[in-house]
Chains A and B, each alone.
Chain A
Amino acid sequence: MMFWMMEYRTRSGKSLPAIFAFALLLASSGCPKAPDYPKEDSDVTESKSTGAAEEEPSFPPLEPYSPPALADLDKTAEWEDRPVLDAMKMYRALKAQEPELVSVKEALKLKNNSDEDNNKILSALGRPPASEKDVNFDADIKRHLFSDIKTTNPLLQSSTADVDVVGMTSIGFFSFDWKMEPFAPVETVVSWQTSKNKLYDKVVIRDDLVWSDGKPITAHDVVFSFQTLMNPKIPIPAVRTGMDQLRWVEAYDDHTFVIFHKQSLATNVWNCNFPVIPKHIYEESIPKDLTMTDSDYHQKYEQNPVCGGPYRITKRVKGQEIVLERREDWYMHNGKQVRPKPNYKQIRFRVIQDATTARLALNDGQLDEMELQARQWVEQTNDDAFYARNTKVRGVQWVYYHFGWNLKTPYFSDLRVRQAMSYAVNYDQILNKLNYGLYKQSTGEFPDGHWAAPEKPRQPYVQDLAKAEQLLNEAGWTDSDGDGIRDKKINGKPVKFEFSVMCNNEQFRIDVCTSLAESLNRLGILCHVKPTEFTVWQQNAIEHKFQALFGGWGTGTDPSTLANLWKTGEGRNACGFSSKEVDALFVEGERELDQSKRAEIYRKIDQILWDEQPYTWLYSRSGFYAFNKNVRGYMFSPRGPFHYSPGFDAIWTVAAP
């Protein structure tokens, strides 16, 4: 960014120097090599990520499979009914039980300065309408996107912005609620059954579903989408994950399909949840253009996709906005209303990358919702200019931040050193000063309220430098040469305790790491804060080219998704953690079908991780949101107010009195 500021200022000699400055910038980013340390005999952890990847076969193509006839399957499957639910009905039932702490009028006057205020506002404004008359169905809502979408194709989606937009335009036959419990939505599914042995899922979809071009949505679209997703030659980035556990999907008629699984797994339901695209649009075009993007034909549908969800895209200006309009044929079929009418006539996603401009747009009524940064919540949204049109609410999100220790380095391969690090952190400064006292200290992978959280809440680490010193001494890290820095002989070579902590180059993150560095300095450890560009941070983490890092993770829908964080050699296992017991427990957790037993398994994993401290868990972040005062119905899930069911569907704008 600095380079561009300078470039703007000096107009003379603008571009050639710019190119070379860019080259230098790239060169200075370097291509770091994994640090070369003397090998410690007692290294307990050794990731085999790259080796494992080389040995294992690539994502396999779909194996031929002859599914049995449905009649035969029905005879042997011993079908068990699974939930087909109306998420809005569940939401209304939940809210009916919650008392309204203040009236709407009082809530609109409140300023959100405490948890009590927050609860009052949520209790009054985060509610469904008393009747349909209260809803302004002609309203539009202006939503905020921090970055532009990359695609409108449900199969190619990967970023959060993609999910926000494509989630409104695409159709799905599985969903999950605010407790992360899966179900089939009543809007699209008639029945869902699972065989007793959990190897088959039979779904009957509704016969009143149509694509935005008027063609019916059928089980054949589901099968076509599955086969497209499983084609290894198509560069599908994200949504395919987990689908390698599916053996086959077969359509038995226009509305009935069966998903065949390779194994009986508790996680099978999550693998069924894949997006669906129209077969009649892509059937002939995909073999000609496997990228699904290169050809003019695919570009046409990228710009104006045929949609199966409640909204369709009517305008897309790159880098500026995406406009969606409610589909009448989503809720009306043959002149009859068959589904609830979506609450908004139009959804306008505005792409505003600058947080200050977005906040001003909110004050100006040009945005109706926006996720706030912690600093904006505390310092920039308390004035009358903000409250004239808006209010703000917060909710706990399952997003935690941590210091990660690279277990391959001689410093952090020793458990005592990792524990010493956790005792050294100045939690008070990080939580109360740098984070304004907004967050609770986290104590492991599962926050309070998670079904796999410890039955008895853990005692969090507190800063105890004496204890940290004792642990470092026990681990052999002492100041043997009296230079004020701890050192240790490893395989005969003296090694100073000097390392870098890598973080993204944002001031807040640098401040958190500086707090760590200051604490460690008092223990005779040299810690250098290394701000790094986001992509470099990510790549270095994947390749274990760091010593320590500061980062954060959001939550997956099921604890089994933590396997890619903690199983040996997995993609997000940056610290190189490796434990045969944890690896085995993750496999067991997937295979165990009893929820309470699964909870025990994941608790055990969490306890091992807590004992091993590959991370120093710091805090769980809240979600902070601003909403226009006319917008109602928001409720927080562990994944925020939108990314669950009903999520956005529950949000409405009040009709004029």
Chain B
Amino acid sequence: MPTLGADMESGTLLEWRVKPGDAVKRGDIVAVVDTSKAEIEVEIFEDGVIDELLVSEGTRVPVGTVLATLRTGAADGAPAPSPAPAPPSPAPAPPPEPAVTPPVAAPQRAPEERRLRVSPVARRAAEQLGVDLAAVAGSGPDGAITKADIERAAGAPTPAAAPAAEPGERAGAMRLAIGALMARSKREIPHYYLQTQIDMSRALAWLQEENLRRSVADRLLPSALLLSAVARAVAAMPAMNGFWVDGAFRAAGGVHLGVAISLRGGGLIAPALHDADRKSLDELMSGLRDLVTRARAGRLRSSEMSDPTITVTNLGEQGAELVHGVIYPPQVALVGFGGIRERPWAADGMIGARPVVIATLAADHRASDGHAGSRLLKLIDNRLQEPQEL
């Protein structure tokens, strides 16, 4: 069972898309898993032949459970049963973790693997309040978890306390999951916040011109420009793109923008637009449309759920003017955009009305400082002044 988000502890195998003997290749969808947030299509990351399905449909299992075994054709003819579990790492994994564990799972799994220091009263309180000890930061001697830590954590119910995500309870379960993750973020991550106003007149003028040449179906939205600008700026600022894991920052291999998408039934989800810095505006636009459609249909893929390297939240045309976001652990930064509004703008000694967006950055002070954060916002601004380059 892959981790389909840092807040996931277990998932229900809804459906197998393969059966023993089926040949599969990397990227094929082999199963559908229900997290408390959505139904996710699980991709396989190795070529081979499905050997055995170990978990039956409808079963809820903890993250890390082997779902199936896969025979890889690599060996000489004889199809030796490979211990390689399927689905293996859905992320382009930096290797020290076992194959089933994507890097985003590391901060949660690490404490489980060594013995947690939990005081007796805290352990009992955790049982009573349904708090997951692995998600609690200890403040006692030698980092031991104390009763007070449990009571703080209980303020935001954790995934362990979440009911199984029956369809009717999906929204409630999602609220619990979001609550637990955001509480953890605010508890553990020393956020700092920066904001800047960006003149969007050039970008929007270019967009208007560009859209005139396009069919209605192919028109670009300002969101695509914003996402592209962020992706390209982040590519130049690796310190903002990655994960805080085991007390250290680990830069990510690519720029996978987590795009916050609000769901119609309430709640939100932030699947990844992979390698966004290398995608054209058209690719970003279609990728975004696809993600939104599938997110709202509850049909996201495992890799999209597990490996965003930085999140972008865009309140859109009708949104509030700015957003101070909460970082999605173990990421270290979140870029927010308010609605694009006409505002008084002074330039060259003149005041005029221009379309302006307020870009904000919430960043993890353990991983970066305001100087770097400020530079990231400046780079985003620069990119948006040269829309033709996006």
The yes or no verdict on A and B being binding partners is no
